[in-house]
Amino acid sequence: MPKVDRRILKSQEAIKKGLIELMSEKNFDDITIQDISERANVNRGTIYLHYQDKYDLLDKLIEEHIDVLRESCRAASELEYTESTLIWTEYFERHYLFFSMMLASKGAPYFRGRFLNFLTEEFMNETDVTKGKNEGLNEALLVRFVASAFVGVVEWWFTNEKPVPHHVLAQQLGTLLERIV
């Protein structure tokens, strides 16, 4: 893989950060490329060099975070649910502004659906309805239930401005996942 110039990475990070900051101040539909370029301290051409428009920028930002979560799932595949969930909640904590904008506001409903679909795919690999406590259950229903519950709890955590520390959230979610999946 070719090495990317640090200046390009720096510009892209500034653009993404600028978008997230602006989304905390106003509705995504009201944000312009000019707003983003001013916030990121780059010219409009730099944004268009990397992204087709603000929707492409948001899509790539979302996919970037989903990809990191996917990789952490693969890396944590041998861990217990509590340990693997701790990796996620630490990531949520580090990227609080992004996830709070995506989950606790109505600014980006696409993200919630994308996050839910991602979790559904991940939990599909974790469920077994042929034996044990979930024997005889409809697998699609069980997976959707678990993924929806996970998204709902994470939304609650962000909407209520982290009412419990991220490690408590991880422990509680891990325990619940152990009981259900």
- CATH number for position 41: 1.10.10.60
Q: What is the mean pLDDT of the chain?
A: 91
- In this prediction, residue 78 has a pLDDT band, given cuts at 50, 70 and 90, of confident
- State the pLDDT at residue 1: 60
64 and 47 housed in the same domain:
no
28 and 112 housed in the same domain:
no
Number of domains in the chain: 2
Between CA 45 and CA 33 the distance in angstroms is 10
Render pLDDT for 33-65 as a digit per residue (tens, 0 to 9).
999 999 999 999 999 999 999 999 999 999 999
- In this prediction, residue 109 has a pLDDT band, given cuts at 50, 70 and 90, of confident
For residue 127, pLDDT over 90 is answered with: no
Q: What is the mean pLDDT of residues 76-97?
A: 92
Between CA 66 and CA 119 the distance in angstroms is 10
148 and 166 housed in the same domain:
yes
Between CA 69 and CA 166 the distance in angstroms is 16
Q: What is the mean pLDDT of residues 16-31?
A: 92
